Amino acid sequence: MYRLTEETATDWWEVEAIYDLCFAPGREALSSYRLRDGISAVRELSLVARDEDGILAGAIRFWPVRIGKRPALLLGPVAVHPTRQGEGLGGYLIQESLETARENDWKRVMLVGDASYYGRFGFNKLEGVEMPPPTNPERVLGQELVEGSWVGVTGMVQKADAE
């Protein structure tokens, strides 16, 4: 019913529009955006979902970050158009992109979000991993794509080094 493809330059404005629709105004003031400024999204993990008519129904983006010298993926934003929510599309976008992340040898992924939603995909609260303030530490969640990959990884989340 939905087709997932890598986001391209021509999708960009539509993806921005769906994020504007789904998130509170001022989303770009969130601390997670400071980690994205000037850094490209991870192209092969940033997906758009379109229906049979080509209408954009949801999107997910990922950015590279680091904790000390350890690289990690920052999942998000992910959003599903309000008229399409609750059909499993958010889960589909998350699971497909994480599968590709595993295949591409990423070891760990994190996000800022609700544990009650992301817990079902294997995300748990990260201890000792700090997002730039103001971020509620209860919402800093992570998942190991390789067993043990978050063990001993603590400190401030920083921007990936610019290419």
Ligand X SMILES: CC(C)(COP(=O)(O)OP(=O)(O)OC[C@H]1O[C@@H](n2cnc3c(N)ncnc32)[C@H](O)[C@@H]1OP(=O)(O)O)[C@@H](O)C(=O)NCCC(=O)NCCS
For binding to ligand X (CB under 6 A), which residues are involved? 22-23, 78-80, 85-91, 113-114, 116-117
Nearer to ligand X, 105 or 138 (CB): 138
Nearer to ligand X, 13 or 147 (CB): 13
Distance separating alpha carbons of residues 128 and 55, to the nearest angstrom: 41
Give the shortest CB-97-to-ligand X separation in angstroms: 12
Residue 47 bridge partners (DSSP) = 6, 60
Nearer to ligand X, 1 or 146 (CB): 1
Distance separating alpha carbons of residues 29 and 31, to the nearest angstrom: 6
Give the shortest CB-120-to-ligand X separation in angstroms: 8
Give the shortest CB-65-to-ligand X separation in angstroms: 16
For residue 38, with 0-12 CB atoms within 10 Å meaning exposed, 13-18 middle and 19 or more buried, which class applies?
Answer: exposed
Closest residue to ligand X using C-beta atoms: 90
Give the shortest CB-91-to-ligand X separation in angstroms: 3
Nearer to ligand X, 39 or 115 (CB): 115
Strands 155-159 and 56-67: antiparallel
Residues in the chain: 163
H helix or E strand, kind and range, residue 112: strand 108-112
